[in-house]
Amino acid sequence: MRRNSDLPELLAPAGSEEALYAAVRAGADAVYLGGKAFGARAFAANFDGEGLKRAVAYCHLHGVRLYVTVNTLVYERELPAWLDFCRSLYAMGVDALIVTDLGGISLLRRYLPHMELHASTQMGLHNSEGVRLAAELGLSRAVVARECSLSDMREMVEKAPLELEVFLHGALCVCHSGQCLFSSLVGGRSGNRGECAQPCRLPYGNGGYPLSLKDLSLARHITELLDAGVSSLKIEGRMKSPDYVYGVTRIYRRLLDEKRNATDAEERELSALFSRSGFTDGYFTGRLSGMTGVRSEQQKEESRALSKGDFTPMRLSVSAEAVFRSGEPCRLTLKAPHKTVTVQGEIPAPALRAPLSEDELRERLCKMGNTYLSLSVEDLSITLSEGINLSPAAVNALRRAAALAMESSERESPPTEEISLQRPEAQSPIKTAVFHMPEVLFSLSETEREAFDIIFVPLLYYTEAPAVSGVSLPPVIMERELGDVRERLSAAAKRGARYALISNLSHFALCREAGLIPVGDFRMNLYNCEAAAVVHRLGAAHALCSLELTVPRAASVGGVLVYGRAPLMLTERCFVRENAGCSACGSFAFTDRRGMRFPVLREYMHRNLIFNSVPTYMGDKQEELGRRGLLHRHFIFSDESAAEIKRIVAAYDAQQPLSVQVRRIGVSEARIYDGAAEPPAPKKDSPRPMAKKAEKERPMERKGTSFSHGGHPKTKLKNGKKSK
């Protein structure tokens, strides 16, 4: 959908009240921020309930829209509180909610149907098919994935039935949004819950920083973005300082108003505010080389040397008309560019001694006190009958009521009936597996393959593998790739594929076209039964829950991973080709500073999957899974040999532990466990580190959080026991 106005909306971040004032002062058309819970930036200062009300009032007085992020994935037990929070935001007058969780979206459409919803970048909308389904689910805007090129954006704008928002400037994740489990499964802090520990900013291999990307800047592409017709341009930075928010927003405000690209001087000014070895526009232009960068000490010094602003709220000048007539309630009307309000007060009484005077009224009515308004005596007109009086308290109350009405954007509170959660139908027992290196299938006998009800092979390799009933769709399909994927899916269906492992909203339409039955992958990020019910209504026969869920939380959601190295990251760039050449495909891995090895495999179109250093295994915990009703069991085979796969399946069937290091499901901290031992009790949650300086990173080694699985990397296990 092309924008209706001449210019797209300029959307600025606000991680604090001072940053909010900076964004509005710099000329933002809209601001996005988070409350104290359910936002994807848990370590920003964020806003409490009263702070949110003040933020709505301030933005609306200045003609600025306000969006609130409620874009974490939501545990089932949190859904009532999450919905109540959203109801309160609606009542405050918040313009839109930025959302991710499919279950949450479903609840909002049932219980808060008039609330405007924007799809977060965490939903991973890379093409028009995904955007179209997002519209069907009730969203009015979608944030385009940051990895989309200009040509992708143009085509999506023309096809999309809703508004499209594009990231304009700020930090880039090396992993596709919503697909990163690195911080969660390795560091114990979930990026999907707003607690990312930034493993991508750490060194790997020879001490370099191959996963640390430069910040995005599209300042050189403003004219192209205007021509593309996107509805909103978004600046990233809720963890950044008010000075950063003001400086970046001010520059882009100027560029948009003047409809031009940035000069060299403006690019240098942006870099001085914050950058990592400069900026990148690689995804936008399709030139992916030279995208890595780190924050150098010199760059930190440059940012610290910049003058600091004092960002206090701007008072809005209003005009007023006051009417004090005998025998009728007094009235006060306040007028601003975006709003006019009128309130009534008490009826004046006949004056017994000194009657009301205009001078007295002007003095009292122009005292706007602790509000965001200012009223000068020259902008106040008064109609006053002779011989009447009104107490000072009544005049003050009239002024306060008018100011409150001018600042308020409150709506009628929606009903607060108790929510009823929808649940997916009970699932029949099923055992599924995905083989990321399908050549090992040639070494497995037909009987061994029949150990699984459905075997999925990546679409990229499907025609090269033995005919199996399932094909795994690429987690990311750009607009320019839809045609190729459709052709490959059609060929797979003709070759005998019946099922498709899906991980994105766009996959439902592709499956319908090819006549394949969808099975939801863990990448659908199903955190609660309501989300699972959504994917089943859309046609999924089975679905896996998020790999971040414990066994109890998974019980009402979907199937679980019982064996496999979890894919921790999905990257747009091919690190195998960049670091070792194509000949290393299938054997390349990243090694962290503790010696842990993370295999890297190719995905569709030379994207990469980075797998965990140890597999998850629950084969000897099947009795517990059965008690919880978890009957859909899923295997992931990445770099295992055929012989290893045979041993793993045999151990699983015998409900025996593995003689290798494994990770368990069902604990709060990620650790390597003895295959025969119960995991240790989780430690109490430690306090969250708060931002001290906006420019500081939060890699896993900060605040005592180590980037490891908790076990010593040299620990060896033999027959389920530590070797001495």
What predicted TM-score, i.e. pTM, was given to this entire model? Answer: 0.90
Contacts of 526 (CB under 8 A, 6+ apart): 102, 103, 520, 532, 535, 543, 544, 545, 546, 557, 558
Least confidently predicted of 167-181, 304-318, 394-408, 628-642:
304-318
Q: String of b and e for 162-191 (b: at least 16 CB within 10 Å)?
A: bbbbbbbbbbbbbbbbbbbbbbbbbbbbbb
The pLDDT confidence band at residue 448, using thresholds 50, 70 and 90, is: very high
Average pLDDT, integer, range 659-664: 93
What distances in angstroms separate CA 134 from CA 116, 118, 192, 466, one per listed residue? 13, 9, 19, 35
In this predicted structure, the answer to whether residue 701 has a pLDDT above a threshold of 60 is no
| Residue 617 one-letter amino acid | Y
Calpha distance 144→234 (Å, rounded): 10
Nearby residues of 642 by Cβ (< 8 Å), 6 or more positions away: 440, 443, 444
Is residue 597 over pLDDT 70?
Answer: yes
- What is the predicted pLDDT for the residue at 37? 77
Pairing of strands 65-70, 30-34: parallel
Alpha-carbon 679 to chain mean position:
31
The reported pLDDT for the residue numbered 44 is 66
Q: Provide the pLDDT for residue 414.
A: 83
- Amino acid residing at 267: E
Average pLDDT, rounded, for the chain: 89
Q: d(Cα 554, Cα 627) in Å, to the nearest integer?
A: 12
Contacts for 144 with CB less than 8 Å, ≥ 6 apart: 121, 125, 126, 152, 153, 156, 164, 165, 166, 167, 230
Provide the pLDDT confidence category of residue 517 given band limits of 50, 70 and 90: very high
Of 34, 155, 74, 38, the residue nearest 478 (C-alpha): 155
SS3 state of residue 173: coil
- Please report the pLDDT score of residue 40 as a whole number: 59
Tell me the C-alpha distance between 638 and 64, whole Å: 49
Check residue 128 and give its pLDDT. 97
Strands 470-472 and 499-502: parallel
Cβ atoms within 10 Å of 591's Cβ, excluding its own:
14
Q: Which of 106-115, 302-311, 611-620 has the lowest mean pLDDT?
A: 302-311
d(CA 66, CA 79): 23
Question: Quick one: tokens of 506?
Answer: 């766009």
Give start and end residues of each alpha helix (H) in 614-653.
Answer: 622-627, 642-653
What are 507's two structure tokens? 């996959």
d(CA 92, CA 72): 21
Confidence tier at 704 by pLDDT (50, 70, 90): very low
Q: Is residue 695 over pLDDT 60?
A: no
Question: Which residues neighbour 122 within 8 Å (Cβ) at sequence distance 6 or greater?
Answer: 40, 71, 100, 177, 178, 192, 525
Given a cut of 60, whether residue 703 has pLDDT beyond it is no
Beta-bridged to residue 322, according to DSSP, are: 332, 382
* 8 A C-beta contact, residue 147 and residue 176: yes
Length of the chain: 724
Asked if pLDDT for residue 679 goes beyond 50, the answer is no
pLDDT at 248 over 50: yes
* Alpha helices (H) in 593-691, listed in sequence order: 622-627, 642-653
Q: Is the dihedral of CA 712, 713, 718, 723 positive or negative?
A: negative
d(CA 243, CA 306): 9
What is the percentage of the chain residues whose pLDDT exceeds 70? 91
Give CA–CA dist 17/26, Å, rounded.
14
Distance of alpha carbon 295 from alpha carbon 304, whole angstroms: 13
d(CA 31, CA 401): 27
What b-and-e string marks burial along 450-482, b requiring 16 or more CB atoms within 10 Å of the CB? ebbbbbbbbbbbbeebeebbbbbbbbbbbbebb
Element (H, E) at 171: none
Please tell me the chain's helix, strand, coil percentages from 3-state DSSP, rounded to the nearest 5.
35, 20, 45
The pLDDT confidence band at residue 671, using thresholds 50, 70 and 90, is very low
Q: Tell me the three state secondary structure of residue 479.
A: helix
pLDDT at res. 696: 37
CA distance 653 to 634: 13
Under 8 Å between Cβ of 308 and 247: no
CA distance 630 to 555: 6
- The CA-based dihedral angle spanning residues 227, 230, 232, 236, taken in that order and rounded to the nearest 10 degrees: -90
| Residues 527-566: tens digit of each pLDDT | 999 999 999 999 999 999 999 999 999 999 999 999 999 9
β-sheet with 499-502: strand ranges across:
542-543, 517-520, 499-502, 470-472, 454-458, 430-435, 632-637, 560-564, 616-617
Three-state DSSP at 659 gives: coil
| Greatest Cα pair distance in the chain | 107
C-alpha distance from residue 242 to each of 61, 265, 312 (Å) = 20, 21, 11
Mean local confidence (pLDDT), 257-285: 96
* pLDDT value of residue 43: 66
Instruction: Identify the weakest region by mean pLDDT among 69-83, 163-177, 194-208, 510-524.
Output: 194-208
